[in-house]
Copies of this chain bind each other. A is one copy, B any other.
């Protein structure tokens, strides 16, 4: 068997056919990763579930009251959720109210559509 045939055989033995098609853009990959990173923490999932269950906006102190964590720690988690677009914040006098930003589930739906 010639060397050429060996090379051909090796190519046929490839594990996968070559791929075409495009991957998600780097920009979208970053966007999705940021959203999921924000949700990838047990405390933050519970904050989100608290807001979802309340069905209304809650001030930071109410949220804090449900956790065994310091005020700055909860403030930090709220900031991460806010920056990822999962929640929004609005000051009313002395309090700052947080609520779910429902459009964010649009991003998640986009991602699920990607999965087909």
Contact = CB atoms under 8 A, between A and B. Distances in A.
Interface stretch (A2-10, A71-79, A107-115): A107-115
A39 interface: yes
Contact of A40 (B40, B58, B66): B40
A23 B53 contact: yes
A37 B44 CA distance: 11
B115 A15 contact: no
Contact of A58 (B16, B23, B58): B16
Interface string A1-36: 000000000000001100101111010011011101
Contacts of A68: none
B29 A62 contact: no
Contact of A100 (B42, B108, B115): B115
Q: Please indicate which of the listed interface residues A49, A97, A112, A114 has the most CB atoms of chain B within 10 Å of its own CB.
A: A49
A99 to B, nearest CB: 11
A54 B55 CA distance: 40
Given A15-B62, A109-B112, A112-B109, A33 B41 contact: yes
